[in-house]
Amino acid sequence: MTKQSNQKPYIIGVAGNSGSGKTFFLNCFLKHFKPGEISLISLDNYYIPAGTKTKEENKRYNFDLPSAFDKDAFYNDIKSLIEWKTITKEEYTFNNPLLKPRVLEIKPSPILIIEGLFIFYYKEINTLIDHRIFMHTDEKTALARRLKRDFTERGYNEEDVLYKWNNHVIPAYHQYLLPFKESCNQIINNSIENEKDIDTISKDISAYLRQAFF
């Protein structure tokens, strides 16, 4: 596939609950492509700044709602990539003052991955996707992964993580993501810590795409 102004990139949507292993899967998947063959845009970098949100009575923000993201900016940047335009976006650091955000430069490619919790829920974005992948993990395993990540990477304490899990993460998952599971082209079960299986799945998908488009 070569760049043409009238040729839409092949768009893959990847979604799954927090702790479903999306990042590991994507890292395995991307390594099978050369620079310029594939691009990734993540909804995580489009959070609306926390200071602009409405606080709950307990003073804890809810980041797990479709309204927590700047959907319009996300959609417009996807459209720019479809039109073969390079975009820049500041990385979101989840309010961690110890991390300096990077400025991400995302260049258009024949294959575009859209990743995020609500990408299937946002209708205008979902209609752009050619192939939908749902990362499934049982909730007990997903919570264990979330606890480990939020302790080490984001500095949250256990009480805060569990509160958000039970009151924000799981309700949002059941309302805004799970209903789209059966309509996806591919469901990847990642409940067991088996890196070899995930790597094999990513290799098989990438091999098909390489044969189809390069």
Residues 6+ apart with CB under 8 A from 3: 84, 108, 110
Q: How far apart are CA 169 and CA 20, in angstroms?
A: 12
| Residue 146: predicted pLDDT | 87
| Residue 131: predicted pLDDT | 96
| Residue 95: predicted pLDDT | 60
Residue 58 burial (C-beta neighbours within 10 Å; 0-12, 13-18, 19+):
exposed
Residue type, 25: F
In the numeric block, which tokens belong to residue 133? 């992948």
Q: How far apart are CA 4 and CA 86, in angstroms?
A: 15
| Residue 108: predicted pLDDT | 97
Q: 73: how many CB neighbours lie within 10 A of its CB?
A: 13
Domains and CATH numbers, the chain: 10-213 (3.40.50.300)
Output the tens digit of pLDDT for each of the chain's 214 residues: 444 556 899 999 999 998 898 989 999 999 999 989 999 999 999 998 766 555 454 446 788 999 999 999 999 999 999 999 999 999 887 666 566 778 999 999 999 999 999 999 999 999 999 999 999 999 999 998 888 877 666 667 788 889 889 999 999 999 999 999 999 999 999 877 667 888 899 999 999 898 888 8
Kindly state the helix (H) or strand (E) to which residue 163 belongs, with its residue range.
helix 158-164
| Residue 96: predicted pLDDT | 62
* SS3 (DSSP) at 6: coil
DSSP 114-136: EE-TTTTTSHHHHTT-SEEEEEE
In the numeric block, which tokens belong to residue 26? 């994507």
∠162-151-198 over CA atoms, to 5°? Answer: 90
In the numeric block, which tokens belong to residue 36? 């310029």
| Residue 106: predicted pLDDT | 97
Q: What are the start-end ranges of the H helices in the chain?
A: 22-30, 71-82, 123-126, 139-152, 158-164, 170-172, 195-213
Q: DSSP label at 67?
A: G
In the numeric block, which tokens belong to residue 212? 């189809």
Taking alpha carbons only, the member of 109, 25, 125 closest to residue 69 is 125
